[in-house]
Amino acid sequence: MKELLGLYPYPTQWPSDINVRLRNVFPVLSASAEEFIRHLPKKEQAAFAQAWFNYHHGTGREVDSNCYLHYVTSDGSDGTNDGKKVFDENVSHL
């Protein structure tokens, strides 16, 4: 998918502000996800819906849709977050 080119599977063009980049491609990805899920067997739809939710809800809260802060690498007091690794894992689950 061209919207993720340079980000997945290899982060060769990771932008300085991943949140802005992913917000810009969200409409296309969202439409693709909605189309794709309709073609899955019913028993696989819940897992895909959860993977999609995890991809675009950085806080895990429904109210924070289209939030990608979990893909920002940080080194906080509670540990290091490797944003590229989290992104790779979440996209792989889709």
**Whole-model pTM?**
0.88
Burial 50-82 (b: 16+ CB within 10 A, else e): eebebbbbbeeeeeeeebbebbeeeeeeeeeee
**Res 80: pLDDT:** 72
Task: Please enumerate in sequence order all residues whose Cβ is within 8 A of that of 94, keeping only pairs 6 or more positions apart, or say none.
Answer: 33, 48, 51, 52, 55
Q: Are 74 and 28 in contact (CB under 8 A)?
A: no
What are 37-75's pLDDT values in tens digits?
999 999 999 999 999 999 999 888 888 888 898 998 876
- 34 pLDDT band (50/70/90 cuts)? very high
DSSP category for residue 10: S
Kindly state the percentage of the chain with pLDDT values over 70: 95
Cα 6 to the center of its chain, rounded Å: 14
**Residue 77 pLDDT greater than 80, yes or no:** no
